[in-house]
Structure 1
Amino acid sequence: MRAMSRMIPQDLRDGIDHALHDLHQRIPAAMGCVVATVDGRLVSHIVDNDADPQRIAAMIGSMVALGETIGKEVRIDRSQYVVVNASNGTLLAQRIPSERELFVLATLARPTTNLGIVLHETRTTAAHVAMQIDDWLQRNASMPT
């Protein structure tokens, strides 16, 4: 699976791209969506403002991991998502819950967007992408990693 973090197969990348496009369309006032590897490599993105998707990818894996660590440390268990709420928007990031959990998803939305909608749609997309990843892994289980 290490090779996958460096070079994601085109069929899997196409599925992730399609899922991100759908997520972006379903959230009113969405400004962007990013999928990255947990080690910060950009996999797919749609960003409508001048935010740098490479920089977002580099940060969201660490942000999710830090949220999970803090959740454990304060005895509330592993966090499910992390939210950055600022005056000009909200960023919600979560791990994609595939079998290997090697990817994270972030959604950036304008402050007028309902956080519940962002959370629901991001979770739904993360679950959909996780199924695609797991299906791909099962189909290619005999391939060397």
Structure 2
Amino acid sequence: MTEQVSAHKDPVVIAFANEVLDGFSDVCRSLRYATFLTDDGFEVASIAGDEKQNRRVASMASSMQALGDAVAKDLRIGGAEYIIIAAETGYVIQMRVPEHAMVLAAHFDAAETVGKALSVVRLAASNMRTLVRDKAA
């Protein structure tokens, strides 16, 4: 039986995450920051931010995802598909990568519509799922 390497330590998964993030920033100019993180709070890859901020955001986003999942479970409404944090000058959307223990957290400036931002986050999370799934096959 082979031991599965955690996403934040797997060079292939890290390369996939960087590839998706590079394409993500090309599609949406209002993107200010994005990170893929593991469910247990480790950064897989990020664009923008410094090393310290990337670690902090990954840790906090992981906790928020767990809280969102707990609220959804307690209310018996299913899993938390995504979380939106709205602020004066922009917002953060975070979404679980389907079928994987990873989350994408992305910060957009206020110039972007929530609909477009949600759409590109969904596309990036789906692209990551496809790349990781195909790696495993």
TM-score band, normalised by the shorter chain? Answer: 0.7 to 0.9
Aligned partner of 2:116 in structure 1 is: 117
Say which SS state the counterpart of residue 113 (structure 1) adopts. Answer: coil
Superposition deviation, residue 3 in structure 1: 2.6
Conserved? CA contact 2:104–2:125, under 8 Å: yes
- 1:6 positional shift: 5.0
Partner of 2:10: 8
Q: Give the number of aligned pairs.
A: 135
**Aligned residue number for residue 35 of structure 1:** 36
Q: Distance in 2 between matches of 1:6 and 1:120?
A: 25
TM normalised by structure 2 equals: 0.88
What CA distance in whole angstroms lies between the structure 1 residues aligned with 2:8 and 2:36? 14
* Structure 1 residue identity aligned to 2:30: A
Q: 1:32-61, CA deviations, whole angstroms, 9 ceiling, x for partnerless residues?
A: 110011111111001269x81111111112
Q: Pairwise CA RMSD of aligned residues? A: 2.1
What amino acid is aligned across from residue 52 of structure 1 in structure 2? Q
Aligned to 2:27: 26
AA matched with 2:19: H
Unaligned runs of 5+ in 1: 139-145
TM-score, normalised to structure 1, is 0.83
Corresponding position of 1:131: 130
1:47 lines up with 2:48 in the alignment: yes
Q: Identify the residue that residue 108 of structure 1 maps to in structure 2.
A: 107
Shift of residue 68, structure 1, vs aligned partner = 1.6
Asked whether the equivalents of residues 8 and 38 of structure 2 are also in contact (C-alpha less than 8 Å), the reply is no
- Stretches (4+) displaced over 4 A: none
Q: Which amino acid aligns with 2:109?
A: R
